[in-house]
Amino acid sequence: MKKQQRPYRAIAITAMARRELRSTLFNVGIYIAIALGLCVASFLLYNYVGSIQENGVLVLPSSFTYTRYLGGTIPSPEPMQVPLKWAVYIGAIYITLSASMAISRERDQGTLEVLFYGPVDSVSFVIAKFVEQILAFAVILFFYVLYFVFMSRVSNFALSMGFVKMLLLSLLLAGCMAAFGMFLSSLSRKVKTSVILFLVFTIIFISVPLVHSFLMAIPQDEVKGALSIARQTTSYLNTLVTWVSPFAYLDRGATAIELGSVAEFVKSLLFSLVYTIILTIGSIGIFNRKGVRR
C-alpha cells in the first residue's frame, strides 16, 4: 500500500505546487517584494559608490574586488554581498508571510476538505506548499541575479565567490523561512491568526538582538540593578533567538562568508537544513492533529 502511495504523492505534490506557483506569479505581491528588494539594494550600492568617490578611490574590474588608493592596491569588502543580503531578507520575509497563510487560508476557505477527497494527504499537501514557496523564492532570486549582473557591468564591482556562496545560502534561508511560515500556518485555523503570529514573531526576532546589542554596548561599570537583570535576560533570549529565528541562520552563514571560514559556512548550511526538516515534520504532525475542517 505504501509503495502505491508514493507515485500518487509525487503526482499530487507536482500538481499542487504548479497550481500554487501559477497563482503566485499572477499575484502582485511577489513583484512588490522584488521591487522593494531591488530598491534597498540600489540604495546600499549608491551609498557605497558615494563613499568611494568621497575618498578618491577608483574601482578596478577584477575577478576580486580591489580598490586603488593613493597609488596603492588594497583589498576591500565585497560591495555586492551586503546589498544582496538585505534584498534576500526582504524576499525571505515575503516567503514567510506567504507560507504562514498557506495552510490556514485553505482551511479557512474550506478547500482543504475538497482536496482531501482526492489522492492528497498531509505529507503531500505540506510538501507541495513548501516546494511552491521555494520555487517562488527562486523566481525572486532570478530577478536579483539579473539586477546584480547588470550593476556589476555598470559599476565594475566584481561578483566574486562570496556572492555565489550568498546565493546558495539564501536558498537554504528560503527553506528555513518557508518551513517556519508553514509551521505557524499549521498552528492556526484562521488567516488573521496566522498573520498575527507572523508579525509577533518577526518583531521578536528583530527586536531582541537589537536590544541585546544596545545593552551590551553599555560600559560594565554602569550596569547595575534592573539594568543588570535586563542585560542578563536579553542575553538568554538572544541565545534562544539565534536557534529559533530563521533570520539568524542567514546571519551565521553571512558572517562565515565574510570571515572566509569554509568550515563555519558548511556548518551553517547543515544547521539550516536540519532546522527546515524539523519544522516541516512538525508542520505535518500538527496538521494531522488539527485535521482539515475549519
Residue 109 confidence (pLDDT): 72
Query: pLDDT by residue (tens digit) across 95-122?
Result: 989 988 888 787 777 676 666 666 778 8
Spacing of C-alpha 47 from chain mean position = 24
Residue 163 pLDDT class (50, 70, 90 cuts): confident
User: DSSP letter string over the chain?
Assistant: -HHHHHHHHHHHHHHHHHHHHHHHHTSHHHHHHHHHHHHHHHHHHHHHHHHHHHTT-EEE--SS-EEEETTEEEE---TTHHHHHHHHHHHHHHHHHHHHTHHHHHHHHTHHHHHTTSS--HHHHHHHHHHHHHHHHHHHHHHHHHHHHHHHHHH-----HHHHHHHHHHHHHHHHHHHHHHHHHHH-SSHHHHHHHHHHHHHHHHHHHHHHHHHHTS-GGG--THHHHHHHHHHHHHHHHHHH-HHHHHHHHHHHHHHT-HHHHHHHHHHHHHHHHHHHHHHHHHHHHH-S--
Residue 6 confidence (pLDDT): 59
**Which of 43, 38, 26 has the alpha carbon at shortest distance from 90?**
38
Residue 291 confidence (pLDDT): 66
Which is higher by pLDDT, 219 or 125?
A: 125
Q: Which domain holds residue 238?
A: 2-290
Query: pLDDT by residue (tens digit) across 25-77?
Result: 998 999 999 999 999 999 988 887 776 666 655 444 433 344 333 333 334 44
pLDDT at 24 exceeding the cut of 50: yes
**Which of 64, 41, 247 has the alpha carbon at shortest distance from 145?**
41
pTM comes to 0.81
Residue 13 confidence (pLDDT): 84
> What is the residue whose three cell numbers read 543588570?
228
User: What is the average pLDDT across 80-100?
Assistant: 89
Residue 142 confidence (pLDDT): 94
Residue 55 confidence (pLDDT): 60
Residue 74 confidence (pLDDT): 37
Q: CA dist 120 to 7, 11, 105, 185, 248, Å? A: 11, 9, 17, 18, 34
Q: For the chain, what is the domain count? A: 1
Query: pLDDT by residue (tens digit) across 197-252?
Result: 999 998 998 899 888 888 887 777 766 777 778 888 888 998 898 889 888 887 88
Please provide the average confidence, as pLDDT, over all residues in the chain: 81
> What percentage of residues in the chain have a pLDDT greater than 90?
23
Q: Are 13 and 131 in contact (CB under 8 A)?
A: yes
Rg (CA), the chain: 22
